[in-house]
Chains A and B, each alone.
Chain A
Amino acid sequence: MQVSQLLIFLVLFPLIAAFFLLFARKSLERNWIVKLAALAIGAVSLWLLVAGFDKGMMMFGVSGKALDLAMLAIELVIAVYLLWLGLKHKKYSVVILVVIQAALLLWFELAFGHTLVELPNNLFVDQFSIIMAMIIGIIGSLICVYALGYMEIFHEHHKEIVDRQGMFFFILFVFLSAMFGLVFSNNLLWVLFFWEITTLCSFLLIGYSQTTEATNNAFLALAMNMLGGIAFVVALIYLATLDPSGRLLELSTLLKSGYAVAIVPAVLICFAGLTKAAQMPFSSWLVGAMVAPTPVSALLHSSTMVKAGVYIIVRFAPVLTGTTEGLMIALVGGFTFLLTSCMAISQSNAKKVLAYSTIANLGLIVACAGVGTYNLMWVAILLIIFHAIAKSLLFLCVGTVEHRIGSRDIEDMGGLIERMPKMAVMMFIGMAGMFLAPFGMIISKWAAIEAFIQAPFGLIFIIILAFGGSATLFFWSKWMGKIISVMRNQENVEKTVPQDKYTVLWILTALVVIVALIFPLISSVLIEPYIMDVYGYTTRLAEANIIIMLLMLGLLMIMPFSMLFESKTPRIAPPYMGGRTTEGGMKFHGSLGMSRDLVLSNYYLRTYFGEEKLFMVGVLACWGIILIALVMVVGVVL
């Protein structure tokens, strides 16, 4: 089969599966469709890797004109639908944004529809697209499989929420389809179309439970992403004004057309990327999105949505290299990384900590792409991969734990190692993947420091990394400490977790370790050739260092076995409780003969890292920077 057919399969097949799911009435049918579809999507993604990794950039012509019109029609239908929803829920800001975007799109079609020629190559694939496809195809479909078991229990626990699982899985698969479309499209009109579909899907998924909070947060996400969508349309109009034949709408042409032509659309589209990647000042939509069922969060945070945002920014990174506009975008990412890492310290809600950590890591990716030197681009792509795997694992673990212990508060996860040992080990590995050497994220942080120090103005980002990185350390370590603390007389509540979920979780856990082991291979086969194509030279970590990292990873993996070779069996004693004022069983003497249980809770340092204060700082700083960038763009236009 040809590569082009694989691409079309990956875009269309999830869509077909989605329609079947819409009409699947029984949960058994749904189970089979989701599992088989996930298997097919995963397998074809791997096939694409095998077929395409050594071919470089490939472009394909798919007859466009009719499709373009169909896409426009669908976008207008969506606009009408959103308009109706906005009016129904009295969300007038959304109504205004929808009207503006629809008007711009219609104007674009009327003004340029007749002058645009049919673009020769609407689809393309290169190593970067393949990496994205692997993330969407493997992690995305694993999350869909996990969602099967999760949603059953979700509806058992929440009788008040209308069971619309058919709709739910329909949207999940449409989402995957749109993501594939986005990373394979060479025609910017198509990119916009898929971009808007992902916005719509996330809107519907966040609002799934139809509570007031869910609806409000869904509209917040919609409004912020519409803002980005409008910037995207403006970029297209600008390009069509420059060349009415529309040849600049081809991504591959645009990226090679140089600073003078590409900088304005690059900044506008990167602005859209910032909204989608939930960078400050738009971070609140992703934090609000945690009201959705956990598989949705996992999907939004790891393989779809926010990854679309950073995907497009990394695509435009070569245009941004060395420009002041690029530096501005990088600064937005940098500040977001620093501030949200600090904000995560003050949170005890597990999903919120994960959300801030996602925003922070996306910020780092944006900072790398904004500065845009070749070695930073390498780091950005590596970060996308590592983050997707570890973060999906952590979200799914939190979801599972929440169903068992009835809470997503980190303070309630004490002693998880006794209560749910397998989950605790998986979470431990996932967190290690996020901040400990020699796992993925620390490899990226290391490479980022080495790359920033050679880049213009890189010093700013080194400082940001130094402080933000240590904040990261704090909130992960104390969470880790919570789950591994050995409390006495805890009951194991793990048995009831279904097998399907375990399969997904173990695969993701294994991936965290495996990718840390084989990242030099991923780098040399996929990332380096791509960087080479774009910049003409490439980078990698020094071989000696890679060997040392692998040795460290090996050492880390054999360390737990040291517990099997204890020479003498240790004697267990109660912890030190402070002498006379205590009694047995982890209790303290209180006044009037009362006895008080020992309660230990973590530090949240709210006076220093309080959410509201830092959020205000971030919003002001990042809006300021974005406005400067936009003013510069207006300057270029005039």
Chain B
Amino acid sequence: MIPEPWAAIVNAVIYLLLAPVVGGLIAGIDRRITARMQGRVGPPLLQPFYDVGKLFEKENLVVTTTQNFYVLSYLVFMAVSGALFFSGGDMLLVIFAFTLSHIFLVLGAYAAFSPYSHVGAERELIQIIAYEPMIIITAAGMYMVTKSFYVSDIVQSAVPIVLYLPGVFIGYLIVLTIKLRKSPFDLSTSHHAHQELVKGVTTDFAGPNLAKIEIAHWYEYVFLLGVVYLFFGFNPLLAIAAIIIAYFLEILIDNTTSRVKWQMTLRSAWLVAGTLGIINLGVLYYLRMVIVP
């Protein structure tokens, strides 16, 4: 089924306008809870907005002017992929747009030709290939349950998707850890300043460019949590509770684990996708083909 064009466009516009606000608030709450877990008071709730506002006021300092293009493309395609998702579009198209946007961030870091950016870019790529199979498997799993790749169909499905896809859901939580740049998988850049990579992939971005990257992250948060919603789409209240619990769990993991090497990241992500993901889909396939043809 193709989504109703007008409702889809309205949803996309709402996402484009509100996602940065929601994403920024999530970042603010994240910082407060993290601080409490570490026995600190933490910054005000709106601190992420103050930070970004201040960054925009700074001078546009670059290593090469092409960085501006890559960062803008990163932001634009991140917004596009989220907008496609919330307008009920095809999951696979959303994933491809999402990947495209990340490639732009990586290219921006490569363009700077500096040691920290470079290693950050390589690690960011390793992270991308670590989580990418699991996202495709997630989309395939949702198709197998709902017979559609369209987000609009998946979200309306009355089937409790999470009960059919428990393995895929766990795999997706690992994707979430990588994508939210949480420890133990915050290889390429981190929210915390205590790493050997300086700021990794974002080291050579400053001022407005860094602000755009931050806004892109906010768009990304909302989209990633939107996928969690799909697993529980049959019951909106439960879905929102699941999002809150999942996010809290991510913060907890972030604060209780230490960063692993890239080898471990790649291995664990592929291992989970290759076992939980495949077994889950295999069982589903068997049930569908053999038990209820």
**Residues of A that sit less than 8 Å from B by CB:** 414-415, 417, 436-438, 442, 446, 449-450, 453, 459, 462-463, 465-467, 469-471, 473-474, 477-478, 480-482, 484-488, 542-545, 548-549, 552, 555-556, 559-560, 562-563, 566, 568, 570-578, 598, 600, 602-603, 605, 607-608
Contact = CB atoms under 8 A, between A and B. Distances in A.
A477 B103 CA distance: 7
A465 B132 CA distance: 11
Interface in B105-156: 106-107, 109-118, 121-122, 125-126, 128-129, 132-134, 136-137, 139-140, 143-144, 149
Given A463-B277, A480-B110, 9 more contacts: A414-B113, A449-B140, A459-B281, A459-B285, A470-B128, A485-B110, A559-B72, A573-B62, A600-B118
Interface residues of B, number: 70
Contacts of A545: 89-90, 93
Given A437-B100, A573-B63, A574-B63, A466 B68 contact: no
Contacts of A481: 106-107, 109-111, 121
A577 B114 contact: yes
A486 B112 contact: yes
Nearest to A599: B115
Q: Which 9 A-B pairs have the closest CB atoms?
A: A575-B114, A481-B110, A437-B96, A470-B132, A486-B64, A466-B136, A466-B133, A570-B60, A470-B129
Given A415-B113, A572-B63, A598-B115, A559 B73 contact: yes
B193 to A, nearest CB: 14
Contact of A446 (B73, B92, B274): B92
Contact of A571 (B59, B72, B73): B59
A484 B103 contact: no
Nearest to B84: A548
A542 B198 contact: no
Given A437-B99, A474-B125, A576 B113 contact: no
B136 A465 contact: yes
A471 B129 contact: yes
Given A436-B103, A562-B72, A466 B137 contact: yes
B96 A442 contact: yes
| Prevailing SS type, chain B contact patch | helix
B66 interface: yes
A488 B76 CA distance: 29
Contacts of A453: 140, 143-144
B90 to A, nearest CB: 6
Given A436-B103, A545-B90, A577 B115 contact: yes
A556 B69 CA distance: 11
A38 to B, nearest CB: 35
Contact of A482 (B72, B110, B143, B278): B110
Contact of B113 (A437, A471, A487, A552): A487
A446 B73 CA distance: 22
Given A449-B136, A485-B110, A438 B96 contact: yes
Contact of A555 (B80, B107, B206): B80
8 contacts: A463-B281, A466-B136, A470-B133, A544-B5, A562-B69, A598-B114, A602-B122, A603-B125
Given A453-B144, A465-B136, A603-B126, A484 B66 contact: yes
B266 interface: yes
Contacts of B117: 575-576
Contacts of A571: 59-62
B203 interface: yes
> Which residue, of A415, A467, A560, has the highest number of chain B Cβ atoms within 10 A?
A467
Given A437-B99, A548-B89, A469 B132 contact: yes
Contacts of A470: 128-129, 132-133
B65 interface: yes
Contacts of B137: 462-463, 466
Contact of B80 (A552, A563, A576): A552
B169 interface: no
A573 B61 contact: yes
B236 interface: no
Nearest to A542: B2
Contact of B62 (A474, A485, A559, A570): A570
Nearest to B87: A548
B160 interface: no
B204 interface: yes
B92 A578 contact: no
Contacts of A463: 133, 137, 277-278, 281
A478 B112 contact: no
Nearest to B8: A544
A590 B110 CA distance: 25
B97 interface: yes
Contact of B115 (A471, A473, A600): A600
A415 to B, nearest CB: 7
A53 B198 CA distance: 59
B273 interface: yes
A480 B107 CA distance: 8
A575 B112 contact: yes
Contacts of A542: 2, 90
A575 B109 CA distance: 11
Interface string B1-24: 011010000000000000000000
A469 B132 CA distance: 9
Contact of B65 (A543, A570, A605, A608): A570
B86 interface: no
B185 interface: no
Contacts of A471: 129
A446 B96 contact: yes
B229 interface: no
A484 B111 contact: yes
A275 B270 CA distance: 31
Contacts of A572: 62-65
B107 A486 contact: no
Given A481-B106, A481-B121, A563-B66, A459 B61 contact: no
B223 to A, nearest CB: 16
Contacts of A488: 113
B53 interface: no
A435 to B, nearest CB: 9
Contacts of B282: 459
Contacts of A608: 263, 266
A482 B62 CA distance: 19
Contact of B204 (A459, A559, A575, A600): A575
Interface string B71-89: 0110011001000100001
A412 to B, nearest CB: 15
Nearest to B92: A446
A44 B278 CA distance: 50
Contact of B66 (A467, A469, A486, A568): A486
Given A450-B92, A450-B149, A487-B113, A467 B270 contact: yes
Contacts of A417: 66
Nearest to B112: A575
Contacts of A560: 69
> Which residue, of B116, B122, B128, has the highest number of chain A Cβ atoms within 10 A?
B122
B77 to A, nearest CB: 8
Given A437-B100, A563-B66, A568 B84 contact: no
Nearest to B144: A453
A466 B134 CA distance: 8
Contacts of B103: 436, 473, 477, 480
Contacts of A556: 73
B215 to A, nearest CB: 16
A484 B112 CA distance: 9
Contacts of B204: 575-576
A595 to B, nearest CB: 15
Contacts of A415: 113
> Which residue, of A465, A485, A574, has the highest number of chain B Cβ atoms within 10 A?
A485
Contacts of A548: 84, 89, 93
